[in-house]
């Protein structure tokens, strides 16, 4: 038992820093709003892109936690769904230190769900672009009791064999479609895997969900 004491020094223990680096820190602001990024978004036909969050993820040696299979649209939802992660490797992301892996073509899937948002009628089936959402708890009593956020369904458990590992070099970037299922493993190696990531949403004719956390 560690009685709340860190087992590694502070600078080797922090998991991530978020979610407004692109607003608060001049260096991250410069990268996020650089001409390179603007050109990519222009080429992808974004009309009025906005950045809704940013994170520095450390994935520390030995203890960097795994990130389970998810779609980014679960956490950041707009209608129609048009969201993309820009994931920039600041160090080599390898098979050993917890690179990303993806399920090819999972961004084209639709999911049949019972309605779960405040904007939909109850007990209606919908074809949704994502499997579940992470929303503000619509139950006022639960919310007032501190149960602020909830998932609308269980975590899916895709087969390991569905995933393709994507190691990349420091300085490379991966563009993550808001529907694609992806994950990363725990970093059990002695090598750090630091990345900077931010999420882009289309604000032209697309509404950022009020139910987002």
Ligand X SMILES: O=C(O)CCC(=O)C(=O)O
* Residue whose C-beta lies closest to ligand X: 184
If one asks whether residue 132 binds ligand X (CB under 6 A), the answer comes out as no
Reported as half-sphere exposure (CB side, CA atoms, 13 A), residue 125 has a value of: 3
As measured in angstroms, the least distance from the Cβ of 70 to ligand X is 7
Question: 74 with 130: CB under 8 angstroms?
Answer: yes
As measured in angstroms, the least distance from the Cβ of 65 to ligand X is 9
Q: Which stretch binds ligand X (CB under 6 A): 39-47, 114-122, 151-159, 176-184?
A: 176-184
**How far is the C-alpha of 203 from the C-alpha of 79, rounded, in Å?**
10
Identity of the residue, 72 or 131, whose beta carbon is nearer to ligand X in the bound complex: 72
As measured in angstroms, the least distance from the Cβ of 154 to ligand X is 18
Identity of the residue, 89 or 150, whose beta carbon is nearer to ligand X in the bound complex: 89
CB atoms within 10 A of CB 20: 16
Question: C-alpha angle 155/174/206, rounded to 5°?
Answer: 70
If one asks whether residue 197 binds ligand X (CB under 6 A), the answer comes out as yes
**How far is the C-alpha of 27 from the C-alpha of 33, rounded, in Å?**
10
Give 85's strand partners.
Answer: 176, 199
Binding residues for ligand X, how many (CB under 6 A)? 11
Decide: residue 30, CB within 10 A, 0-12 exposed, 13-18 middle, 19+ buried: exposed
Residues 38-77 touching ligand X, rule: CB under 6 A, are: 57, 59, 67, 72
Binding residues for ligand X, rule: CB under 6 A, are 57, 59, 67, 72, 85, 87, 176, 182, 184, 195, 197
């Amino acid at each position: 038992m560690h009685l709340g004491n860190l087992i590694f020094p502070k600078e080797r223990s922090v998991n991530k820093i978020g979610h407004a680096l692109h607003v608060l820190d001049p260096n991250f602001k410069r990268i996020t709003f650089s001409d390179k990024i603007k050109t990519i978004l222009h080429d992808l036909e974004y009309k009025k892109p906005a950045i809704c969050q940013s994170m520095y993820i450390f994935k520390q040696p030995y203890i960097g936690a795994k990130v389970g299979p998810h779609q980014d649209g679960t956490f950041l939802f707009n209608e129609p769904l048009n969201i993309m992660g820009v994931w920039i490797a600041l160090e080599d992301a390898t098979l050993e230190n917890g690179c990303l892996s993806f399920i090819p073509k999972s961004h084209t899937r639709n999911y049949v769900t019972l309605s779960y948002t405040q904007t939909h009628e109850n007990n209606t089936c919908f074809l949704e672009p994502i499997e579940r959402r992470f929303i503000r708890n619509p139950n006022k009593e639960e919310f007032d009791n501190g149960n602020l956020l909830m998932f609308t369904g269980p975590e899916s458990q895709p087969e390991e064999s569905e995933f393709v590992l994507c190691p990349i070099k420091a300085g490379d970037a991966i563009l993550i479609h808001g529907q694609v299922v992806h994950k990363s493993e725990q970093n059990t190696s002695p090598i750090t895997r630091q990345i900077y990531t931010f999420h882009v949403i289309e604000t032209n004719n697309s509404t950022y969900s009020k139910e987002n956390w």
